Chains A and B, each alone.
Chain A
Amino acid sequence: MIPFLVCVLLFLFGLYAIVVKRNLIKMIIGFCFMEYAVNLFFAFAGFKREALAPIITDPDMARNFVDPLPQALVLTAIVIGLATTALMLALAMRIYAKYKTFDITEIRRLKG
């Protein structure tokens, strides 16, 4: 249970950074935290006590394995995270070039 609580804690750290911090880069770091929390949670989901991993059929051997599928899925999720982080950073850079600031409270040209 404790690993899952750590994930939740990490997720809340990230959410805190996104909601409270005013600097775009800090918001992006907070976003990365949230993403890692979800990925970590998914990776933990591969282990179940006294359960058999799906691919290996020999029960004695299978008890020593964790389910490999979540790891493959997390790898995919990390790739997606890479793309989103890169795009966010690129947007933040362009915003800095236009507004000359990373402060979210001063980036308010759109109203409504």
Chain B
Amino acid sequence: MRGMTSIVQTVAGLVAGMLFLYGCYITLHGHLTPGGGFAGGVIVAASFILMSLAFGSVEDSERSSYRFSSFFESLGGLLFLGVGLVGYFAGYAFLNNLWAMVGRPLHLVSGGIIPLANIAIGLKVGAGLWAIFLALGASQYVMKEGP
């Protein structure tokens, strides 16, 4: 992919870091404020996509990003299953909440497994969307490798 002009590159460089942090914030505070794993993951992926669009990429970096994203996507899925199985192996139902049933307002560490599940979903959605972007946008590499 080719990059864009230096105006776009400067602005993207300024914004992308904040966008990434904002996505992390929304993911982590999913049990307290509107948003959650999915919305946060999308914003995190948007920061990656912004950088990639502004600065362009070469095939090598696309290849490594693709590996990286598919690894984290699987990891996110496994983490979510693991979070679900915590309640299962503790002797309750699948996806049962363990410590506190409700989140206390303004307390980040509350709500039992809900924040953990949000983090796992955020990881999966962010990596998944980034992978979709790579597969659709950077298809030169993906198509060359074949199915």
* Interface segment out of the listed A33-41, A51-59, A85-93: A85-93
Q: Is the interface of A mostly helix, strand, loop or mixed?
A: helix
Question: Given the complex, which residues of A lie within 8 Å of B38, measured CB to CB?
Answer: 75, 79
Q: Find B135's partner among A75, A79, A90, A97 (CB 8 Å cutoff).
A: A90
Do residues A97 and B143 form an inter-chain contact, with CB atoms below 8 A?
A: yes
Name the residue of chain A whose CB is nearest to the CB of B39: A75
A100 to chain B, nearest CB (A): 14
Q: Is the interface of B mostly helix, strand, loop or mixed?
A: helix
Of the four ranges (under 10, 10 to 19, 20 to 34, 35 or more), the interface on chain B belongs to under 10
Question: Given the complex, which residues of A lie within 8 Å of B132, measured CB to CB?
Answer: 86
B37 to chain A, nearest CB (A): 11
Do residues B143 and A86 form an inter-chain contact, with CB atoms below 8 A?
A: no
Question: Given the complex, which residues of A lie within 8 Å of B143, measured CB to CB?
Answer: 94, 97
A69 to chain B, nearest CB (A): 16
- B136 near A: Cβ within 8 Å? yes
B127 to chain A, nearest CB (A): 14
Which residues of chain A from 70 to 102 have a CB within 8 Å of any chain B CB? 75, 79, 86, 89-90, 93-94, 97
Residues of chain B whose beta carbon lies under 8 Å from any beta carbon of chain A:
38, 132, 135-136, 139, 143
- Other than the known A90-B136, A93-B136, what 9 A-B pairs have Cβ atoms closer than 8 Å? A75-B38, A79-B38, A86-B132, A86-B136, A89-B136, A90-B135, A93-B139, A94-B143, A97-B143
Residues of chain A whose beta carbon lies under 8 Å from any beta carbon of chain B:
75, 79, 86, 89-90, 93-94, 97
Top 3 A-B pairs ranked by shortest CB distance?
A86-B132, A89-B136, A93-B139
